[in-house]
Amino acid sequence: MRGSGLLDEAVVMQALEAVKDPEIPVVSVVELGIVQAVQVDSASGAVVVSITPTFSGCPALDLMRTAIESCVLDLGASAVRVEVVLDPPWTSDRIAPEARARMQAIGLAPPPPVGRFRTDISLTLEPLLASEDPVPCPYCGSSQTVMENGFGPTICRSAHYCNGCLQSFEAFKAL
């Protein structure tokens, strides 16, 4: 059904690689894993893009929504609608391997695999941080690191300290 300028899902997805996370400009919205689905109506050329927030309070979501709309219209879509969905919920495990490498290169530690921690969140005051695997330092690779604060300059980042190279660094939160 393709041809004569009609779009398909793969073409749209490919184009969305150009839309970056405004807070982490080395990572695209596709690599971040927030693009849930793309639907193209081949008869009308209208496109629906379903995205899901990393954190529900992410202030960059509207910017990304607008950038996705422009991107799809530039492709020649007759109309575009970006809808925000919550199911299935985003997890940091969705971040693409290449994007993780680029995060590391700018000094932002990629999130460790979520695994057990995601479903077994203790409600008690018992020590929890000690039982979590430390985030490797993005500068020297040491695992001798500690999370100093669960909150950083954006709601998706935490603040850490490396006892190997004695530097502070940020990590993308495991969620």
Partner 1 sequence: MNDQESSAPIAMASMDDTARADLAIVVLGIADDCMLQGHRDSEWTGLGPILEEDIAFSSMAQDELGHALVWYNLLAGLGETRSPDLLAFTRDAGDWRNAQIVALPRGEYPFSLMRRHLHDLAKAVLYDGLIACGVAEVAVAATKLRQEKKYHLIHNRAYIERLARSETGRGPIQAALDELFPFALGLFEKQDAHDRLAAAGFIPSQALLRERWLDVTCSSLAAAGLRPPAHRAEEAWIPDVDPRVGGRSGRHVPEQVALLEAMQGMFRSDPEATW
Residues forming contacts to partner 1 in the complex (CB under 8 A) are: 53, 55-59, 86-87, 89-91, 117-118, 121-126, 128-129, 148-153, 155, 158-159, 173, 175
Distance CA 165, CA 163 (A): 6
Structure tokens at 39: 């639907």
Q: Is 20 helix (H, G, I), strand (E, B) or coil?
A: strand
* Closest to partner 1 by CB, 90 or 169: 90
- Closest distance of CB 33 from partner 1, Å: 14
DSSP bridge pairs for 158:
171
* Closest to partner 1 by CB, 58 or 103: 58
- Closest distance of CB 8 from partner 1, Å: 28
- Closest distance of CB 115 from partner 1, Å: 13
- Closest distance of CB 92 from partner 1, Å: 10
Cβ(52)–Cβ(86) under 8 Å?
Answer: yes
Per-residue CA distances from 129 to 42, 87, 90, 118, 143 (Å): 51, 28, 22, 13, 14
* Closest to partner 1 by CB, 141 or 150: 150
